[in-house]
């Protein structure tokens, strides 16, 4: 149990330190996310070693009952670690979701790589499937938002503010969804013969990512 307390205190302290460094911009958000992922694996590895060590200490006649009691204790510890890991994940995703004016292609690619890595690690330790899916959903939302912002910027530069405003005002703001926007703007550009290769690629890129979760590479 002392090992459990040590790991818990260490993890909380280390996570707090990383949070301070991130707020002070001493480390980048992707570095923060990677270190949190390593901390998750570290916690569960130590928990497993702690269980193995204590099992080797139980050699008396009450071994079976002791084992049952210990398994109950381990179940409580695992629940505690899952709660801690969930807090770590929530904090990491919250940090990553903060508006970043320096967001670019490379940083989005790094976040998607972190998404894949942390999903694999959490699956390997039988973490809650719903929580794992939430990681994918939230990181995908970040990437989708980046692609939509990039598309809108390209549209304003390509067709001009007047044409862009005309299109946007064609529906009440409350009716627009990203999916509808992509569909309608493609029809608008084709009808007005305003479609350009870069815009067409940006539209395709949004659709492809929403379907597959994979970011299409820009043509060389």
Q: Indicate the domain borders of the chain.
A: 2-98, 110-220
pLDDT tens digits along 168-204: 999 998 999 999 999 999 999 999 898 999 999 999 9
**Tokens 């079976």 correspond to what residue?**
64
Contacts of 220 (CB under 8 A, 6+ apart): none
Average pLDDT, stretch 58-81?
A: 60
Sign for the CA dihedral angle at 7, 10, 13, 15 comes to negative
Report the distance separating Cα 127 and Cα 74, nearest Å.
15
Higher pLDDT, 36 or 172: 172
Taking CA atoms, 198 is separated from 68, 147, 154, in Å, by 64, 13, 8
pLDDT recorded at residue 92: 73
pLDDT the model gives residue 61: 47
pTM metric for this prediction: 0.68
Kindly tell me if the per-residue pLDDT of 77 is higher than 90: no
Q: Within the chain, how many helices (H) and strands (E) appear?
A: 7, 0
Highest mean pLDDT among 85-99, 104-118, 177-191: 177-191
pLDDT-derived band at 155 (thresholds 50, 70, 90) equals very high
CB proximity list for 136: less than 8 A, separation 6 or greater: 115, 119, 213
């Amino acid at each position: 149990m002392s090992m459990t307390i040590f790991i818990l205190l260490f993890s909380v302290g280390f996570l707090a330190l990383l949070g301070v460094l991130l707020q002070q911009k001493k480390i980048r958000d992707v570095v923060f996310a990677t270190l949190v992922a390593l901390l998750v694996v570290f916690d569960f590895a130590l928990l497993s070693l702690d269980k193995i060590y204590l099992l080797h200490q139980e050699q008396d006649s009450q071994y079976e009952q002791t084992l049952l009691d210990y398994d109950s204790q381990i179940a409580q510890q695992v629940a505690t670690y899952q709660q801690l890991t969930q807090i770590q994940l929530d904090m990491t995703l919250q940090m990553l979701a903060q508006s970043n004016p320096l967001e670019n292609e490379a940083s989005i690619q790094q976040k998607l790589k972190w998404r894949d890595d942390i999903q694999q690690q959490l699956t390997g330790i039988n973490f809650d499937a719903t929580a794992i899916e939430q990681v994918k959903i939230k990181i995908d939302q970040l990437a989708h938002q980046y692609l939509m912002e990039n598309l809108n910027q390209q549209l304003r530069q390509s067709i001009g503010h007047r044409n862009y405003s005309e299109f946007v005002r064609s529906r009440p703001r409350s009716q627009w969804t990203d999916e509808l926007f992509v569909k309608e703007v493609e029809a608008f550009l084709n009808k007005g013969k305003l479609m350009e290769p870069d815009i067409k690629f940006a539209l395709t890129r949004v659709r492809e990512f929403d379907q597959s979760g994979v970011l299409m590479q820009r043509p060389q």
